[in-house]
Chains A and B, each alone.
Chain A
């Protein structure tokens, strides 16, 4: 693989794609420099600040039905604002790696809450620690009101343990199934008794509710606290392996290569769970750039939407359209299907979601029209005529404005159409794609065709 393709691959996986306009800038970079660049531009931590204060649910619950209704409406509005703000941040921010990893942790520590303030707080914990230390991240997540509430630790009390948090901590957040027993779940649940949060959304250890007795956990015995349990879990190398397997599926290949995962787990474990060290190891490994690991992952809906926004500088006059796309494609941020997160891969694709994916790019870029330059079947003339009439209607609905000038003027001089196509699409250009490129009379219609292909779903 040549250097340009390596850098394109890095941008696709470590961020939300290489802009055509950035081709010239990255051309002379070595992989090592490009990787460093990702970390440097992700140094800044820009938290989401959409929700400014915490609304007290208990007061709202006591209110009359009209106030309640207004309250619920306000919460929905805040959730929407939070979602759209994050999509915009992923699309515009230069801290691409930080946002990409925030999205990974958003799915790893999948959580739902009706309280938009808590949702934002958890998202900011995930962003702040996205490239930091996994232990710090895990502790902060475990102590966040959103997670405490979601996994019922607020109800986990001495004498009446609630096992939900302890179970998911092991099954989904750290060592994974097969590495603990039901008894370990029961014992560790007791260690987390009393962990909760107060009305201001601050973590509290409610001493009177904490079970101070002896617990037997993963072969150890002691009067363990929640932090002790987390430490014990991190001492287990299975935890490093579990996280690395998941990250490998996210960044490299859906089918884990055990040798590569083991190498990652060694780096992660011996660095005491340093996420930056782990990522640098992955992005500079030769196998990361192997042919079988490129252009083969199915974009998550958010990757797909953000990638389009980023490449074409799309301005949504009606931001609700972003949420409609998320819904149609099956990934609404802050609304994972369950605590296990979105399953990803092929599960993103069914008949309807694929048709939406094939149609959305031309909808946001060209009022729903794909300027077809191939030979149209005579039967299709009616379809083509109808489509022209529809143009206006599509624009009224989606109200998007791509910045074609910026996209087109960003294309480096003296560059071939095929090179532009090679940046837009991750898989290699086969004969059919080359036919699209060769027959195109202008870049704009070529690009619209390319982003309307199954190949564009991959990265």
Chain B
């Protein structure tokens, strides 16, 4: 057997010597028994993306009245239906849309919206009410609820240096991996390896010390698993040069190499466009659209698109009326974009935002963001949403 094949066949076993068996009884079993393995990829646009200049309601005159200098001109818009169209910087997504791989949910938000970036992001990441403070994230609680089956940190992978609150549960947390080789190297420090190998069982029984050792052991094992599994896969698809495209390329590599990860999380920032919005947002949207299109085509090529669902959100949309600096200020409801090979309802999911019935200049939400989460939890991750969201949401039918 070649060394590489050996590694491949023992990818799961290779981390096992690092850990006491009682911590990982299901690891070997999990690899073969999970059929219809589905991934969810969450893309966070940080800063409050202006949804109205992303999916443009060009068929509504109010849009042009309120946005004198920053409205996207009709001829430039890539029309999706007779009301809404894509910002020209999202031209790469036209093909995706036409394939039926994209769905746009309009006017997603929550009651009593908060216009502070960090608070609203907190609400989106924890799935809380606007006056409630949760210390765990919604994906983290999914990990908690599901930890009998998927109990490794790599069940949820964030392609970043640090882990977002969304990915932290009370018992389980995901893992942040910007660069698998680098993470793997950091766990290979001989001194750390010794700590992992030679700790005694008493360590694990102590509350916080046990938790620290357990996290360290799981990190070593997950870093090893992620590195050994993903390095066997060679990406042939073409991706744009941006850092964000690089992150999605990593996600595709993880998916294509067969990593047993259910949730991936990536972020793109730069959407807080108070001034000179058109260029700034346009640049970020182009990075976003080109990368997402490349990602989806890559997965189509490898046959994984049907098993993948992508959700893009931002912490809030922006005010309907532009400000005096050719920008927009913090707003409320926004669109959420869904991508995947097997959408139940592709295209524009619901009515375009109502620009005439505003709440103090802001869009009124029509879909609670937790109904979007509930759909993903119930229909894609196969877990009852009320367990994760603390009350039951009816959900939508985009998948």
Contact = CB atoms under 8 A, between A and B. Distances in A.
Contact of B195 (A112, A349, A359, A454): A454
Nearest to B171: A346
Contacts of B219: 351, 354-355
Contact of B200 (A330, A346, A376, A432): A432
Contacts of B223: 351
25 contacts: A65-B325, A68-B325, A112-B118, A296-B207, A338-B122, A339-B133, A340-B133, A340-B135, A349-B215, A350-B153, A350-B174, A350-B176, A351-B219, A352-B176, A354-B219, A355-B187, A370-B190, A372-B191, A383-B189, A383-B190, A427-B209, A430-B200, A430-B202, A449-B191, A454-B212
B161 A328 contact: yes
A374 interface: yes
Contact of B185 (A254, A350, A383, A457): A383
A457 B185 CA distance: 21
Given A359-B186, A454-B216, A352 B211 contact: no
Interface string A338-382: 111001011101111111001100000000001010101100100
Interface string A52-64: 0000000000000
B1 to A, nearest CB: 19
B192 interface: yes
Contacts of A338: 118-119, 122, 133
A352 B175 contact: yes
A194 to B, nearest CB: 22
Given A351-B219, A370-B190, A458-B212, 14 more contacts: A298-B208, A298-B212, A328-B162, A337-B165, A338-B122, A340-B135, A349-B211, A349-B215, A350-B153, A350-B174, A353-B162, A430-B202, A453-B195, A458-B209
Interface string B275-307: 110000000000000000000000000000000
B42 interface: no
B205 to A, nearest CB: 12
B49 interface: no
A327 interface: yes
A259 interface: no
B50 interface: no
Contacts of B213: 454
B194 A374 contact: yes
Contacts of A384: 190
Contacts of B188: 380, 383
B168 interface: yes
A82 interface: no
Interface string A266-297: 00000000000000000000000000000011
Nearest to A298: B208
B79 interface: no
Given A351-B222, A432-B200, A376 B190 contact: yes
A249 B118 CA distance: 26
Interface residues of B, number: 52
B162 A352 contact: yes
Interface residues of A, number: 49
Contacts of A453: 195
A431 interface: yes
A68 B215 contact: no
A345 B118 CA distance: 22
Nearest to A342: B135
A370 B176 contact: no
Interface in B185-239: 185-195, 198-200, 202-203, 206-209, 211-213, 215-216, 218-219, 222-223
Contacts, number: 126
A157 interface: no
A351 B224 CA distance: 13
Contacts of B193: 377, 380
B162 to A, nearest CB: 6
A358 B165 contact: no
A349 B189 CA distance: 19
B134 to A, nearest CB: 9
Contacts of A254: 208
A93 interface: no
Contacts of A19: none
Nearest to A329: B162
A359 to B, nearest CB: 6
B309 to A, nearest CB: 24
Chain B CB within 10 A, most for which of A337, A338, A349: A338
A431 B200 contact: yes
Chain A CB within 10 A, most for which of B168, B202, B222: B168
Given A65-B276, A380-B188, A354 B119 contact: no
A167 interface: yes
Contacts of A452: 191-192
B372 to A, nearest CB: 22
Nearest to B178: A352
A346 B140 CA distance: 13
Contacts of B275: 65, 68
A94 interface: no
A346 B211 CA distance: 8
B195 A343 contact: no
A205 interface: no
B9 to A, nearest CB: 19
B126 to A, nearest CB: 9
B70 to A, nearest CB: 14
B190 A380 contact: yes
B163 interface: yes
A447 B347 CA distance: 61
Nearest 7 A/B pairs, CB to CB: A454-B212, A343-B135, A340-B133, A352-B176, A351-B219, A350-B173, A351-B175
B281 to A, nearest CB: 16
A354 B215 contact: yes
A337 B118 contact: yes
Contacts of B135: 340, 343, 347
Chain A CB within 10 A, most for which of B186, B194, B211: B194
A330 B162 contact: yes
A346 B210 CA distance: 11
A184 interface: no
Nearest to B207: A296
Given A298-B208, A384-B190, A351 B176 contact: yes
A250 to B, nearest CB: 15
B122 A377 contact: no
A251 to B, nearest CB: 15
A455 interface: yes
A228 to B, nearest CB: 24
Contacts of A376: 190
B229 to A, nearest CB: 16
A431 B195 CA distance: 12
